[in-house]
Structure 1
Amino acid sequence: MSWRIFDELEARYDSWYERNALIYENELSAVEALGLRGIGVEIGVGTGRFAAPLGLPLGIDASERMLRSALSRGIDAVRGMAEDLPLRSSSMDYVLFIVTLCFLEDPLAALREARRVLRKGGTVAVCIVPRDSAWGAYYTSHGGLFYSSAKFYTADEISSMLRSAGLWPVRVTSTLSHGPLDPPAREVPGADPRAGFVCISSRGS
């Protein structure tokens, strides 16, 4: 299972955010631009690099070592699988996936679980590295230790999956308009579905 590589290489994963601080800041800004409010959970919380600065108190991940790092950042981190969430139905105002669906065996099942735990009118947000972006092409060819097992999707494919799960896409935010080999620059979030990092928010009925 792909999550095991994160268990084995947690420190290397976490240090990426320090080595690529400007890219990380741009991604964080794109997530913040979604305007998520209320009681939420990040699925695939990892080491808490997004949940902590976003003020998101709850995270779920399959990797125990990742969860320990998330706990150290003040996240209420719980072990669980995205396809079978250890959460009550209709308990969350929003559910957030950040570059998580590409590592799951059944991403549609995970989105249906997110829909189950969502309160009426709540939001499910999915952030991806689109397959048809320069970053997606690069990671497909040079996946390395982490992305070698990933299956990348386009923004249109994610939107279709969201609809199949009973969720309706309402907003796109994006960043990383430059290529992966270009010098990074600070960016204002945009709405390009083929940028290097794209977030799609959707509403449940």
Structure 2
Amino acid sequence: MLQTEVFNKNVEAYEAWYDNYPEVFQSEVAAIKEQLLKLPEKITGIEVGLGTGRFSEALGIKEGIEPSEEMAIKAMKRGIEIMKGVAEKLPYSALHFDFVLFVTICHLNNIKTALNEAYRVLKPGGSILIAFLDKEQSIAQQYEEKRYRSTFFQNATYYSVNKVETLLKDAKFKDLEFNQTLFGELDEIKSIQAPKEGYGEGSFVVVKAVKK
């Protein structure tokens, strides 16, 4: 992942975003949860690049990867077990998990390698879930315009839904399903939004795909 030192030095600023946009965060959680609820019960999974553990805590995920030591400290205080490593080289054996969640693909160093690693550690029939800001929608475009004034997004890479779909298929994932949320501008979202099926309207998209 890029900018590990930036995240190490700006943990409180990172945390403050969630406090400033609670309805945005809860809307994102709801969209991810809707996809997770499609999976079988009593399964094990990880979040890759989990930051301070906000999403993992909200979703009941107990383990994951975070390369920033300072972020990992916060996540561990939230009860998340942290394995040191990066998305491009997951410190797990093959065929290990039922699902792998990404909410930070814009900060990945090499997304193709990361998806191949997710495929490797998933059991047959396991699912990858990717939650991301759609490059073609307003919030990602807003962040793009402010890139050089942002602590965290100067080197971020935003992806369109079509690009994510292509990357997943290239990594041999099948049966893609999409939902979306964050309808409207970031500062205008003052209530928790229910996710909608598909994509093309909301700025935040969640895709679930299966390792056959």
TM-score of the pair, normalised by structure 1:
0.95
The amino acid across from 2:193 in the alignment is E
Q: Answer yes or no: is 1:157 the counterpart of 2:158.
A: no
Partner Cα separation in structure 2 for residue 163 and residue 104 of structure 1? 18
Q: Answer yes or no: is 1:145 the counterpart of 2:151.
A: yes
Structure 1, 191-200 or 4-13: larger mean CA deviation: 191-200
Structure 1, 182-191 or 131-140: larger mean CA deviation: 182-191
Q: 1:7 touches 1:64 (CA, 8 Å); kept in 2?
A: yes
The amino acid across from 1:109 in the alignment is T
SS at match of 1:146: coil
Partner of 1:189: 195
Give runs of aligned pairs for residues 39-54 of structure 1, distance below 5 A.
39-54=44-59
Partner Cα separation in structure 1 for residue 175 and residue 133 of structure 2? 17
Deviation at 1:169, TM superposition (A): 4.3
Partner of 1:81: 86
Partner Cα separation in structure 2 for residue 3 and residue 153 of structure 1? 21
Gaps of 5+ in 2: none
Q: 1:60 touches 1:79 (CA, 8 Å); kept in 2?
A: yes
Partner Cα separation in structure 2 for residue 125 and residue 199 of structure 1? 7
Partner Cα separation in structure 1 for residue 207 and residue 66 of structure 2? 21
Partner of 1:2: 3
Q: 1:44 touches 1:62 (CA, 8 Å); kept in 2?
A: yes
TM-score of the pair, normalised by structure 2:
0.92
RMSD over aligned CA atoms reads 1.2
Partner Cα separation in structure 1 for residue 55 and residue 187 of structure 2? 24
Gaps of 5+ in 1: none
Partner Cα separation in structure 2 for residue 141 and residue 181 of structure 1? 15
Identity percentage of aligned residues:
28
Partner of 2:23: 22
Partner of 2:96: 91
Partner of 2:105: 101
Partner Cα separation in structure 2 for residue 31 and residue 131 of structure 1? 18
